[in-house]
Structure 1
Amino acid sequence: MTTASEGAELTRVGPGTPMGGLMREYWMPALKSSEIERDGPPVRFMLLGEKLIAFRDSDGRIGVMDHRCPHRCASLFLGRNEEGGIRCLYHGWKFDTSGQCIDMPSVPPQQDFKHKVKAKAYRSIERAGLVWVYMGARAEAPPLPALQILDAPDAEINVGMIQRDCNYLQAIEGEIDTAHFGYLHGGHADPARLDESEPFYFTVTNRAPEFHVADAPWGTQYAGYRSAGAGRTYWRFANFLFPFWTQAPNGEFDSHAHGRAWVPLDDNHTMYVFIWWKRARAANSLPQPAYKDGTPVGGTGRGNKLLPNTTDWLGRWRMADSEANDWGMDREAQRTNQIYSGIDGIHLQDQAITESMGPIVDHTFEHLGPSDQMITRTRRRLLMAARALRDQGTLPPGVEDGAVYHGARSGYFVSDDQRAWREVYDTRLAAALHPGPAPARAAE
């Protein structure tokens, strides 16, 4: 059981917290590059409990800094993005993308001390259509995580973002829990009406999978498995990758290069960042599940309707359906078993469940079972890594050697390979389709 004190260690991410310290060792995807215009208005956003702004200067460089002007703490969000810097409205002090004050027009020239003033700024880099931010204290920033998807050219990568109103940990745990699929997402599906080639088939034929769970160089890994008859096994491999990445088995393993980040905005809000290979055969690209006669399997809608972005601190990439309207639940569809949950859309179903738990789960209220092994192991892995960093200065996995992520992939397949599960995984991974390399472009 996770104790109350362990729960607090795991879920609090602000400055000075053990988990916040761990998160700050890594690059974090924070915004879409398209959100920031050259010489355009700054963008408000939150990351690890800090209120930040981002802007793109006249040369296309990105600045990410604390929103408070270091003069009198007026918000730089109100500032003028002009001629290579952001200018505070209050007294006209101007700062470049590194945070350095470059103009102090309200101070007499003989008393000017701009060379001594610097806003709190963080390093950034652009890759895969995203702005990544490093909030750590290391003189030399670590490498980006070498996820297989980041080997693909930007033109072959799709990016999606959706905010979730809950702590990052329960969002992650929804992703690494495969046992819920046969109920939350497919509880209404009739296996007798499905063809074996339909990805839904095995998850609703046997709704109680067995598991292998283990630590991995990148974090933790599970293999959910079910009999596929005649000496065959249906496998669903998935991963947790430090510090907040997951890889879900929602695509064909042989091409499913992707990464799903659950980036903590603060303790109670998370930004889901999904990057996936356009050439993959996955839920995003495959037809919606259907029965043999062509009738759609209900509840698998793909449209994640979003509200327009606002300039609020938490005003970006919010779903239109939320707790305010019961996540669009249709009780009649639920009652008649058209949709087991009554909620149309797999992502929205997951969103509803994790948000319904409240901003932060009270872990002392839980009764975990055998199907929760991946969750308990991942909590322990995170907790031990955060404590080792705090107490011994031991860097967590992937900080210095981003290449550890390259061995991680998720997905489903049917196999007659009867060897140990890790050998089955390694063999399949070696034969899988991989994206090609592409260089990163830094924002100075």
Structure 2
Amino acid sequence: MGAHEYSAPATGIDTSIGIPRRYAWIVFALTFGLLISDYMSRQVLNAVFPLIKNEWTLTDSQLGLLSGIVALMVGLLTLPLSILADKFGKVKSLTLMAVLWSLATLGCAVAESYEHMLFARFLVGVGEAAYGSVGIAVVVAVFPRDMRATLASSFMAGGVFGSFLGMALGGVLAEHFGWRWAFGGMAIFGLVLASIYPVLVKEKKIGTIPKEELAKQKKETQKNQLRTIYSSRSVIATYIASGLQLFVGGSVIVWFPSYLNRYYGMSTDKAGVLAAVIVLSSAVGTILCGILCDRLGKDRPDRKVTLAIAYCLLGCVLLSIAFALPAGTAQLVMVALGMFMALGTNGPSSAMVANLTHNAVHSTAFATLTLANNFLGLALGPLVIGKLSDVIGLHNAFQVMPVISILSAAVFFYAKRHYLKDVTRFNMQAALEQNAIRQQLSKTGKPE
């Protein structure tokens, strides 16, 4: 394969042109902060699992549903809500989402029964449904294309940092003030950030494609843009592989505080803090793996897929070793190393999706990725592990879990076989589209 195939031109319109770098980082910081709030509200539940389980006499399956209902709603609603966000404005939509999930988290704090808590968690899921996809589309829009994997992995690491803070702070608040204050603290943080976001981030400054330019494009061209979301085998495989890998990472994030409580005899606050440290290692791994992906894949796009495969397999080996060990320091170290690698696929997956889909539909493309991540991973993982835990125990369920990473690696390998060809074809189509727009503008006598 010739060298020219490895250095295909960048795709679509660079929406970061003209945006001051300082403003871009302000947008990133605030959008990142709201993502942290998103996951703090989502994962604080994990830290208080033992307390709610005892107070309401719940099974692990019921606890798994409290966690999984959020990811389930994210999976169901992320695509339609992302499309609405593109239509009505990303900044306004992100703000409304944050207000809703924060108020719903406050509802968890005052829940009087399992059914009330389940409904409040349902609303948390509705509020969080499209935040990841719309938020990452905003971040990608204000920075140059060659930073995609780094920014995507750093942004998605916000979810892990949020999980870290949610479990650590939630565990401490629950131990000293009761589990209701754990939810209340997360809700207040989200509402404060939601009030600041629209003041500093403006729709007209986030690098969206001008409406005048979109109006010049023919309806058939717009259909072709939307079709890029599912038109190649490699992008479909990327959705599936990313979701399967998050089955593993999501299950550990949800159930590890309970694991520490049951097998290490830790109190709620200590289990929450230690589980949060384990989760933090995966956040660091997500960022570093994304940076490595950008550096090694700059001139060889297929290396992104190779690295994703490596992250899956290394994570599988490390976590399999970890849960074959007895409770102790060695096991905790291996779990931390396994999680460091397991979520490293976030950066490559997001970069691959961005490179294979049109700029105009990136919110919808990332919504599709989010749908797969939640249905196959963040929702299915905790539910399945909860069911297995009721039958064979949580430790044995964790021993089975890493095998899913092998399946994820196999799907990434399938994507690798088609990735370069699909990227080349997409770039050619994007070039033809741009030429058609230029020709149309030249006929009307208007400048480009």
Please classify the TM superposition score into its range, dividing by the shorter chain length: under 0.3
Q: TM-score normalised to the size of structure 2?
A: 0.25
TM-score (norm 1): 0.25
Bigger Rg, structure 1 or 2: 1
More contact order relative to length (CA 8 Å, sep ≥ 6): 2
Higher strand share: 1
Q: Of Structure 1 and Structure 2, which has the larger fraction of its residues in helix?
A: 2
